[in-house]
Structure 1
Amino acid sequence: MAHGIDEVARAAGVSTATVSRALRGLPNVSAETRRRVADAAAQLGYVASPSAASLASGRTRTIGLLTPWINHWFFANVIEGAERALRTRGFDALLYTFEVPRRAPRRRLDPDVLRRRVDGVLVVGLPLEDGEVEALRDLGRPLVFIGTGVPGQVTVRLDDRTTGRRATEHLIDLGHRRIGHISGSPFDVAPASPPVERREGWLEAMRAAGLAVDPTMETHGHFDVEGGRESLATLLRQCPDLTAVFVASDEMAMGAILAARALGLAVPDDLSVIGVDGHDLGELVGLTTMAQPAVDEGSAAATLLLDMIAGAPAPAEVVYPTTFVERGSTAAPRPPAADPVHR
């Protein structure tokens, strides 16, 4: 015979509210009470109904997950890490994606689709306008941002500026002096966003080395392979004397390598290429990269959000470093051809 929560409460000598809190792992329940409730529930064969628990607590045990893409390496890995952490704690994810056009701003966020449907919100790599952030805050649910942060909101992010600087310094140390840069979307100009910060790192390294930078040395690749392919061709038309390029993502970097080969250039003899991410396919093309633990970032962000839902304090931000992975796409520049000797 099935037993209800009232019987578990009587057996454990506590209220039904305490039974609910204890079995859902919420705070303000002592270890002894939690053990007593668990023992009573096990003896009576009581299994809480998720729908009943949601109705009783006002909780949905669902997290809203906002992202512009799910088919790009970084976003897919962050989402995987977040979902793993959510499942471990008995939560589900409600995925809300956006179409991000290449040549126009994206449509505005409508948080009403999440109202009364989620207990918290994860925002993955999505730069938001002030009005959009306010609308999310108005949901009255905890927020955690991954990648692109918002002042005053908990953020899990990469040390993007250091990443861009170290990637560029690697090329400078090899002897390159004309180093281009491929960034993300031209519409992503939010302060502290990954493409902005990676570009700043590139600029810092170039200036520190006393190297010239001009607008012809950079372009936008929209964070995908095709964008990287198109951007590298554009970059070399604008600045044909480049010997190396720092690319703000591995997918764009792989596209750049394809474009270089199509133009008859050897990588790295004619052009060195370094990316950011640690993409699973990077090893196949010998891509030198600044690798990031995207799955761990997603897991950490989801865990922080669940802790916030349970009433625990959260740090303002969690910053991950990248790991330099050297492969075959970077090398010293080819020596200039010697002038012919005239007799």
Structure 2
Amino acid sequence: MSQPNSTNVFPALFILQGIPGLEHAYLYMAFGFTLVYITSVIGNFTLLFIIKIDRSLHEPMYLFLCMLSFNDLVLSSSTTPKMLGILWFNSKEIYSEACLTQLFFLHSFCIMESALLVAMAFDRYVAICNPLRYTSILTKWLITKIGLLTVSRAVLLMSPLPFLIKRLPFCSVNVIHHSYCEHMAVIKLACADTTFNNIYGIVVVFFIVGLDLIFIVWSYVLILRAVFRLASREARCKSLGTCASHVCAILVFYIPGVLTSIVHRFGKNVPIHIHILLANVYLMLPPLIDPIVYGVKTKQIRNRIRSVFNIDFICSNSVCSNMAISHSTQLPDFNPERKI
């Protein structure tokens, strides 16, 4: 039976509901989310800046880290500004084209993040299991191909999504019960059978998460086998220490993502604001934690950050004045009439 409130015209705009049920706490959440977002942006830009200016960090591990930091910046910036607009200014309207664009970027960069974690697992495998061939295997050309493959896979998998949504007839209600445009939240508004869209989303999630996790787990099985073959305990601890940051990044990305998917699909009695808060944590936590973990755990980055701040501190106190004195006394004044 056809529904009288359906239309074949795609809505001109959607209304993002935000976090229903927590409107009284919007101001507190806005302050917290703004602080998290600013910290994430500063942290990831700092990593990119440090790796760019230090040529000793132009190695495969840090190039992958640059890709991860850039991906985190885009991932958080694709949803957080609009969410903050809702919390701060109650700006809930979003044009349909902007909604589909946000949806595409959101899911694409989630897929890229997963692929980059796989690439970094491969990097750790080569560094520990084949250290003498590390630079010969992970050449800049191979890293470039991995980066292009990461982007291509995400774009190919997510490009059909906006078109699959636009083909659906939508009801007169255009209110999205979420703080950003997410695939499942948008297709719930359609007045048609969305089985194909649901199956496509589930297949992509299981294909990406399942396949990538298999590669990551297999890499660490080989890493642990190589590590436990080392003679000294100190060497084993040092080798495992190089993987600590990557393991933290894996846990921070996959655990909230899997938990969000489980609650969304099976937690029918869970309040909607819990679903939305988990989804926001899933997107905001990795960009916040990754630069902190790599900045603290990676010795080269930590030392470089310290040296930058030490240089600035010294220059601001005594060196700058000494440089000014030496500059005034180092060379004689130039006199064009003076003969040599």
TM over 0.5: no
Higher helix proportion (structure 1 or 2): 2
Give the TM-score normalised by structure 1.
Answer: 0.21
Give the TM-score normalised by structure 2.
Answer: 0.21
Higher strand proportion (structure 1 or 2): 1
User: Which one has more relative contact order, counting CA pairs under 8 Å at least 6 apart?
Assistant: 2
